[in-house]
Amino acid sequence: MITDGVITLRAPEPDDVDAIFRWENDRSQWVDSAVRAPLSRQAVWEFVTNCDNDIFSRGEARFIIELNNGRTSVGALDLTSFDALNRRAEVGICVDRAYRQSGYAARALSLMCGYAYTEIGLHQLWAVTSVDNPAARALFVKCGFKVSGRLKSWIRKGESYGDAYIYQRLLVNGR
């Protein structure tokens, strides 16, 4: 487990299925993700029960953000698009509506940066977020990510397309 004393990042457990099911099926989250259709509880169950979090074999890893004072799951953080050769991965984060604006996302992202550098040996993390998502943009900037480009017409929004920013954070000594 990865902890800072306030939150812990840990592997998903069967008890997390209901929360993950709710987060994955929250349509307001779909703008900044690859999800475009509801997931079944069975699909989430199979993902959780088959999740070994070995980024080197699966190319991805999922972590649950848990509060240390009562084991409450407040969100999830994913590493995807793992590139072992170039030592980088995409990072995505979701925090339950009830726990937003509490600093948990920034804590989780900061913990992940240290873990990615120290334990996985990554050189950088990157993320893509809609230009229309000021909360996500502020989070990445707060955690040391820098805008490295604007992707035109990147995110489909019904019949139109919106731009997105790509953020990068180079990991040097876990900072």
Q: What is the pLDDT of residues 115-171, one digit of tens each?
A: 999 999 999 999 999 999 999 999 999 999 999 999 999 988 878 999 999 999 999
Q: Return the CATH number at 30.
A: 3.40.630.30
The predicted pLDDT at position 27 comes to 62
Question: What DSSP string runs through 77-92?
Answer: EEEEEEETTTTEEEEE
Residue 29's domain comprises 2-123
What is the tens place of the pLDDT at every residue in 84-104? 999 999 999 999 999 999 999
In a domain, 89, yes or no: yes
In a domain, 19, yes or no: yes
pTM of the full structure: 0.87
In a domain, 174, yes or no: no
The predicted pLDDT at position 51 comes to 76
Q: Could you give the number of structural domains in the chain? A: 1
Binned at pLDDT 50, 70 and 90, residue 7 comes out as: very high
In a domain, 137, yes or no: no
The predicted pLDDT at position 174 comes to 55
The predicted pLDDT at position 115 comes to 95
Q: Which residues pair with 77 in a beta bridge?
A: 63, 93
The predicted pLDDT at position 3 comes to 93
Q: How far apart are CA 154 and CA 129, in angstroms?
A: 10
Does the pLDDT of residue 172 top 90, yes or no? no
In a domain, 45, yes or no: yes
What is the tens place of the pLDDT at every residue in 11-67? 998 888 777 778 777 666 655 555 556 667 667 677 767 777 789 988 999 999 999
Which ranges in the chain belong to alpha helices (H)? 17-24, 41-49, 55-58, 104-115, 134-142
**b/e for 87-110, b at 16 or more Cβ within 10 A?**
ebbbbbbbbbeebeeeebbbbbbb
In a domain, 18, yes or no: yes
The predicted pLDDT at position 175 comes to 57
